[in-house]
Amino acid sequence: MTVELVKPGVNVDFIGNRKWAFLFSGTLILVSIISIIAHKGLNLGVDFQGGSLIQARFADASASSEAVREALAEAGFNVSSVQDYGEGGEREYLLNVQNDQGSGDTELSGRVVDALNAAFGADRVEIRRQEMVGPKVGADLRQKALYAVFYSVLIIIIYITGRFEQRWGTAVLFVGILIGAVYLVSIFRVGVGTLIITSLIVTCVTCFFMRFTFALGGILALMHDVIITTGAFSLLEKEITLSFVAAILTIIGYSLNDSIIVFDRIRENHARNRRGDYSLIINRSINETLSRTILTSGTTLLALLSLYFLGGPVNKDFALALTIGITIGTFSSIFIASPILLIWDSPAPGAVVSRKSGDAPPAKASGKAAARGAASWRSLRPADRARAALGKFPDRPPVNPLPCPAPAFGNSPGRPPVIPLPCPGLREFPRQAVGHSPALPRPSGIPPAGRRSCPVS
């Protein structure tokens, strides 16, 4: 027995409300960008910029986060962040101290501990964890993390382009253009962040001009999810660590999987009804997969909320990033990735896109447009060709159907005759079909020529 939260036949107008969804997403992206600029960049953790990470518990009631920061600042330390790490009212903090004085990592950690003992008392401070990362190691980790995001997005672009567009040759050309653009930018020795931004811009522009609708929708949805999740961490002043990068890669894969489910249903429904309204086909496909989307995302969010509240402070940031990303990813697969497919008026041969009332009908194709329409004739199914032959396609002239071929009556040399089926419009069978041809014996049950052979008048 299948579980369906959304009953069959439900038709929520997602496509009709896409403008409100675009406005909501644009607002979130704008707030995220403003937050990152206002905070002068992201709050990178010790994993990416080096330094000392110290987890300390204080018994003194006056040891607030601000008091701890002020005590370390007075001792001459550059404190990047002081995060509340305690539960149940415990005064436990995670300190990220930068090594600006050129001392060794072990020496830096020891001096921080001495400063805390001097400010709050040796018996009032408990050091529970110490981690040291050198600046070179942090820079190397930061570069590798950015490359991981870059190559994952590149592979996703190749997959979506070939899988849904069915244009593998053009996909290879597209990848060549992208790699060439990235190589030209890398000649100027720019950072990895600049390379990623350049690759995303080249990807969107190339997908637009090559009409890779599915790839463009998927990439824009991924950019939407990553920007909003990163902006949320900037607003909350959370550290960007390796666990956050792992969460971002997980969000990219999860959001893409959700978009692919909807894309597959859109392609299936469009193959069944090529002359249907494309916006209605997309909206119907989203509604058909809505139950699956809610069940999958809902069960995943339940697990993440359990991890956030019961998994301890170590897993909180990871669970928080995934919770925000999966929620936004579910939204983007419905309201961002799918409506992008309507960016062109004719998404596929035979498809009809809804237009507002009062709009002029599309002009008939002529010249090169007519040649392209004739070339796309071969991509139609036999049933669609039959409808087109009767003039039911407005952008193609009617074609007179050919009469019954001669081989059907045994008049073609070199081919065996074929017995035609009885038809109400025939009064008698052709002579070759009733046994008067030496190449074909008379079948049993069929009267000789001249007699009425069709039972229907």
What ranges do the domains of the chain cover?
A: 18-40+138-343, 51-133
pLDDT score of 351: 41
Question: What values do phi and psi take at 240, rounded to 5?
Answer: -95, 110
Least confident of 76-80, 86-90, 147-151: 86-90
Angle between helix 213-235 and helix 192-210 axes, rounded to 10 deg: 150
pLDDT exceeds cutoff 50 at 369: no
Quick count: other Cβ atoms within 10 Å of Cβ 228? 21
The whole-angstrom separation of Cα 226 and Cα 232 is 10
pTM flag (> 0.85): no
**Is there a shared CATH topology between the 18-40+138-343 domain and the 51-133 domain?**
no
The whole-angstrom separation of Cα 241 and Cα 317 is 9
The whole-angstrom separation of Cα 376 and Cα 349 is 7
User: Which H helix or E strand runs over 93?
Assistant: strand 91-98
The whole-angstrom separation of Cα 90 and Cα 368 is 75
Least confident of 70-84, 118-132, 417-431: 417-431
pLDDT score of 381: 55
Q: 361 vs 140, which has greater pLDDT?
A: 140
**DSSP sequence for 315-371:** GHHHHHHHHHHHHHHHHHHHHTTTGGGGGSS--STT-B----TTPPPPPPP-THHHH
> What average pLDDT does this structure show over 53-60?
82
| Cβ atoms of residues 287 and 295 within 8 Å | no
The whole-angstrom separation of Cα 427 and Cα 208 is 59
Hey, which of 54-63, 295-304, 375-384 has the most confident mean pLDDT?
Answer: 295-304
Quick count: other Cβ atoms within 10 Å of Cβ 173? 13
Selected from 3.10.20.740, 3.30.70.260, 3.40.50.10860, 2.60.40.1120, the CATH number assigned to the domain covering 51-133 reads 3.30.70.260
The CATH code that applies to domain 18-40+138-343 is: 1.20.1640.10
| Cβ atoms of residues 47 and 138 within 8 Å | yes
pLDDT score of 228: 95
The whole-angstrom separation of Cα 126 and Cα 55 is 9
pLDDT tens sequence across 108-132 = 777 888 888 888 877 778 878 877 7
The whole-angstrom separation of Cα 255 and Cα 296 is 11
